[in-house]
């Protein structure tokens, strides 16, 4: 079975094109011992008032749905 990191990266790779369509991007920063995923939103996402909604209602929701072990997804500011 793949590691959580590999599985999270796979999910990010699948949703990345949707984020890139709006001029942004997302990169995996790390996963802590409590299964909290940290990502960095880049490009047009930086400073965008919708970026927190994208993070929580988009990225986090999809990752937690596909990888139930993940507790939350946070932004590396």
Domain 4-75, CATH class in plain words: alpha beta
Q: Is the pLDDT of residue 41 over 90?
A: yes
Quick one: pLDDT at residue 1?
56
Q: Tens of pLDDT along 15-34?
A: 999 999 999 999 999 999 99
Confidence (pTM): 0.91
Q: Alpha helices, DSSP H only, in 1-77?
A: 4-20, 51-53, 61-66
Q: State the DSSP string of 17-66.
A: HHHHTTTEEEEEEEE-TT-EEEEEEEETTTT-TTHHHIIIIIIIHHHHHH
Can you tell me the mean pLDDT for 36-51? 93
Domain boundaries, the chain: 4-75
Q: Tens of pLDDT along 45-60?
A: 998 899 999 999 999 9
């Amino acid at each position: 079975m793949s590691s959580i990191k590999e599985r999270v990266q796979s999910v990010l790779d699948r949703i990345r094109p949707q984020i890139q369509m709006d001029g942004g991007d997302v990169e995996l920063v790390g996963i802590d011992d409590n299964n909290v995923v940290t990502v960095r939103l880049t490009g047009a996402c930086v400073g965008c008032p919708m970026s927190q909604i994208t993070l929580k209602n988009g990225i986090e929701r999809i990752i937690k749905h596909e990888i139930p072990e993940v507790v939350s997804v946070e932004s590396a500011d």
